[in-house]
Structure 1
Amino acid sequence: MELVNLFSQAKRRSKIVIDANRLLSRLGSSKKLAVQLAGALVFTGSVGTGAYEGLKEQVTLEVDGKEQVIQTHANTVAELLKEQNVKITNEDEVYPSTKTKISDDMDITVHLAKPVKLTIDGQEKVIMTTAQTVKELLKEQNIKTNPNDVIMPALSTPLEENGKVSYEKAFPMVLNDGGVSKKVFATSTTVADFLEKQNITLNELDRVEPDAGEMIKQNDTVRVIRVEKVNDVVEEPVDFKEKEQEDSSMYKGESSVISEGVKGLVKRNFELIKENGKVVSKTLVDETLLKDPVDRVVAVGTKSVPKSSALVKSSAPKSNSKVKEMYVEATAYSPYDAGMSGITATGINIRKKPNMKLIAVDPNVIPLGSKVWVEGYGIAIAGDTGGAIKGKRIDILMPTKDACFDFGRRTVKVRIIS
């Protein structure tokens, strides 16, 4: 109430000053009186003006970081901003609000909205924002960031008018390097750029899947195949050959080993291509013969067999005019060898009868179903065939694989009984 009275007095004193000026114009003839009266009026006017100025409020106004202290008669924040020629739009931020009444020592902050180009996963748009930093801008746009996201410039960077901000959201994918997989995060880019960001270095022969120029996407798997070329030098045996030597002292169909063969030795240099440590190709580069193989020499009879001939050993059954006798190469097999069904060519289930005497034969040499005496084995049934059993070859049934290994490969005499 006291301030209102003071303001009213000041106005009245201002009016007195005006009326006094008019009076002075009429008292032009009394110079001394006019001077005295004018001095009194000036004093009275000064007191009124000082009182009016004393009614101003002092406020601190900050606009986009620029601060100033102002004396004002404005009633509201809106009037103050208008008084200071600060134009406000709906996108601007004012605190306290423009409707707030002015009070002494008030702090007023204004953030004027500025245009910024924001690119999200390759899509660009211009927005008006009062955000002061990149971090505030993304929060304003309801963008939740993760440590693997790509944000340029950094989150703490102050925003400028017409500034540019780029945001790329990271997504999960799998990186398989040399056969070892791990989960990683990446943004949309080419395979080549992705590998560079993952600090993956490719050697000369390495390759990647998909191709380096292709774009990656969420849940993709990028494979780095580590390729290496190495040389492998090995020494390997060389099989000997078998040579037949005619012997007129032996009957036709008979044979005997004169000298066993000896395998040779060769050094071979291979070029190996490995992918992720596994050999995928093997190429012979060169070889050196270290030891020559020695042929196996077998005597074969050329003497005609007389009809009355009885080529019988004490352990063999007696022969008759229908008996056919010969030497054959024999191997052994069991009911459980790889590829075996357990049923022979004549329908015998050898898995149920693994101990029966049975041989696989070439039907063109030994008829299926015939009884055959086999040296060192006994009388067996020619009850099976085999893809590798051609000519004078037989395969002897053994109950176990160990028995087959013990038998090995040998030349035996056989006699077809019936």
Structure 2
Amino acid sequence: MIDFLKNRKVQIAAQAVVITGLVGGTGAVVTMNKPVTLDVNGQSEEVRTFGGTVGDVLDSRDLDIQKNDQIKPGVDKKISRDMTITVNTAKEISLSVDGKKSDETTHANTVGQALADLGVDAKNADLNTKPNQKLKDEGNDIDVTTAKDLTIVADGKDHKVSAAAETAKEALAETKLKLDKDDFMSVPLSSKVSDGQVLTLNRVKNDTVKEKEAIEPKTETKKSDSLFEGETKVEDEGKVGQKQVSYKVKTVNGEEVKKEKKGEKVLSKPEAKVVIEGTKKKEAPAEEPDDSDGSDAGTGDGSDSGSGGSDDGDKSTGGGSGGGDMSTQEIKDMLGGPGSKWYQVAECESQFNPRAVNKSNNAHFGLFQFKQATWEAMGGSGNPIDASPQEQFDRAKKLQAEAGWGQWACA
């Protein structure tokens, strides 16, 4: 009795051939008794039958045929001498391909045949059993890890992998690459991989670096009456210091991703910058009386510059002929000498005195006898007499360019 008949609970009934009263004699009996080959799940035996169809032969062997079993030729096919009848029973398989599980049914007789029937490429794959392992009717567990071509990018190079790897960890194990303590893959090591996938091995470094940095000096302020309020002067530029700072720097594949300060050490101390601020108060200009004719010297309307006219009784006084931080001769030279119109205006208006104040109204000031409003309109600040002769000259030239020589009666 062969094994497959035991597995299928096949019962072999004894065939008692009683030959009595046969009209045709012994020759007729031999003609009716045909030899056929019966192949059940790949195991064959030769049987002789008096049956007329394939179904009759199967019945005579008491095979437990199920609806899903495969029979060739069909059960209604007539028996012919030396015919081969093939029976492949349906078999239940629990299949896992690269971790993906499914329940399948096959008529194959071996593991390799079953995978081919189910369309699973087992070439170079890892199996939990041999391809020629016979299948049972049930309880067949087949695990397949297919061969894959992958690329692992690491250290600026492509590392090709061709292996039956199921996870990123298994793919990495196929190379000579080492995963250091802080290194990490672009996917978790337990992740399933697929054919053609590209993985990246990220190299992580944690280094301590030391950098020299500047220490900016503080600014100290001193008060002094040597300067007017609002004026400043740098007495000492100071000096920039230097420190050494320690950082913990994290890089991934050479690119900085995190920088954390850990400490610092002063190499040289900074020296403070010293600035002097003025406290000297400026004299407030006398309140300017209203002009009866409504004219305003230096406003650009061609009216009198506010010098009080050309009457010698109204000439500016105060401060003598001193030139402040310039000598009278230097002022004359600045104005272009006796042949210059500016020379004539300044001589007439103030006698070359940059500190002159009109004695009749105390409302016109400096070399060119500016009114306060006109001075400010030309961009000046404070009292004109507190400005340098050069600044007074510059603002007078600006006024002349905008309003002409008619601003001064002396012109």
TM-score, normalised by the number of residues in structure 2? 0.46
Structure whose residues are more often strand by fraction: 1
- What TM-score do you get using the length of structure 1 for normalisation? 0.45
